[in-house]
Amino acid sequence: MDQVTSGWVTYDDIVTNANVSYVAGGAAQNAARAASYVLPANTVAYIGSVGDDDLKNTLQKANEAEGVLSAYQIQPPPSKTGACAVILSNHDRSLCTTLRAAEEFTPSHLAHPDVANIIDGANYFYIEGYFLTHGIESALEIAKNASSKGKVVVLNLSAPFIPQFFKVQLEELLPHVDILIGNESEAAAYANATGMADAPLSEVATALAALPKSNTSRPRLIVITQGASSTLVASSTPSTSAGNVKPSDANPKTYPVPKLSDDQIVDTNGAGDMFAGGFLGTLAQGKDLDRAIEVGHKLGQMCVGQNGPKLVYPRVNV
């Protein structure tokens, strides 16, 4: 592919003019597949909006193969399934996304009998930050209902532009969030948006943990990844425990990431999603926080050794 030196490049430009390969993606769906990697088959479900097309079939087949239930809201033509083109250059990447049907999700889908049964039976709810750009009403409905029942609500910041440009929606949802996941760039964007631009990452994490919370019986955890650098975890109540999450006396606490050599790194796309899914799947098993972080790191590193957001099959023990 010729180097782009100026001007705009669109998703259609990339898939038309480049030699591309297609793999199942989607931030929350990646995380769902990673959670399923460590959980029994068909105990993880994904709810989202797609078109009725080949890309939807690709996603659904990946879910079926990896033990994830698909609860799609299928939009009629001319809507198409959303897609993201990833351009790789060594270990760097550029993303070009077309949301399409993904931003056509409506709250009415949550009331569909099959979807309502999934929601009623779930104990963990994972929301990607991207969803706040178009689905805050649905996100709030899910989060408020889950929080009121003592279930675990998890939000991934997903990208720096979420706290930068969707601060209002983020602040609406945060009171109902038990676990917030993000990377250092996303945490810095939140700090810039809230008057903490010069604060160290540990202070930003601690401030996020201390924000008002609707379910006060459970401490809020803030999990900040930093690529190959240590993962940072802060808790709103470091001296207490809730369920299997027992924060240590160190608050925030750092978790070193095992080192990889350059030749072990193929593609970093989706590694954060796989970390999140492995982390949450392990918590859902009743394991402690330290073990959950360990498994998250292992699945994130497994992902970077693949082309695209994928894990190793047949499954290996992590």
Q: Confirm whether 83 is domain-assigned.
A: no
Q: Which structural domain, as residue segments, surrounds residue 130?
A: 123-257
Q: Of all helices (H) and strands (E), which one includes residue 95?
A: strand 92-98
Crossing angle for the helix pair 271-284 and 27-38, to the nearest 10 degrees: 40
The whole-angstrom separation of Cα 157 and Cα 171 is 12
Work out the pLDDT band at 125, boundaries 50, 70, 90.
Answer: very high
Characterize the bridge pairing of strands 44-51 and 253-255: unpaired
Q: Is residue 203 part of a domain?
A: yes
Which H or E run includes 302? helix 289-304
* pLDDT, greater one: 91 or 149: 149
User: Across residues 270-284, what is the average pLDDT?
Assistant: 98
pLDDT tier at 306 (50, 70, 90 boundaries)? very high
In a domain, 213, yes or no: yes
- Residue 39 within any structural domain of the chain: no
pTM over 0.85: yes
- The Cα–Cα gap between 163 and 144 comes to 20
Query: What is the reported pLDDT for 177?
Result: 99
CA angle 292, 29, 316 (to 5 degrees): 50
Q: For residues 81-102, b (16+ Cβ closer than 10 Å) or e, as one string?
A: bbbebbeeeeeeeeebeeebbb
- pLDDT number for residue 244: 59
Q: What is the pLDDT of residue 140?
A: 99
Using DSSP's 3-state secondary structure scheme, residue 71 falls into: strand
Instruction: Give the percent of the chain with pLDDT over 90.
Output: 86
Residue 253 maps to a domain: yes
SS3 284: helix
Classify residue 284: in a domain, yes or no. no
Taking the CA of residue 201 as centre, how many other CA atoms within 13 Å lie in the half-sphere pointing to its CB?
A: 20
Question: Which domain CATH number covers 161?
Answer: 3.40.1190.20
Positive or negative, the CA dihedral 41, 42, 46, 51 is positive
pLDDT exceeds cutoff 50 at 242: no
14's tokens: 């990339």
Give the total number of structural domains in the chain: 1
6-20, 30-44, 98-112, range with the lowest pLDDT: 6-20
Termini Cα distance of the chain: 37
pLDDT for position 19? 86
Which pLDDT score is estimated for 4?
Answer: 43
Average pLDDT estimate for 153-179: 99
pLDDT band at residue 214 using 50, 70 and 90 as cut-offs: very high
The verdict on residue 226 lying in a domain is: yes
User: Nearest 5°: phi and psi at 262?
Assistant: -55, -35
86 phi/psi in degrees, rounded to 5: -115, 120
**What is the rounded average pLDDT of the residues 253-276?**
96
Task: Tell me the average pLDDT across 175-203.
Answer: 98
Q: Which of 12, 249, 273, 290 is catalytic?
A: 273
The answer to whether residue 238 scores a pLDDT higher than 80 is no
Does 14 score more than 60 pLDDT? yes
State yes or no: is 267 an active-site residue.
no
Decide which of 228 and 251 is more confident: 228
CA atoms lying within 13 Å on the CB side of residue 268: 14
Distance CA 187, CA 171 (A): 14
The answer to whether position 291 is within a domain reads: no
Which residues partner with 234 through β-bridges?
222
Q: From its phi and psi, is residue 76 left (phi > 0), alpha (psi between -120 and 50) or beta?
A: beta
User: In terms of DSSP bridges, do strands 179-183 and 221-226 run parallel, antiparallel, or are they unpaired?
Assistant: parallel
Which pLDDT value is given to residue 88?
80
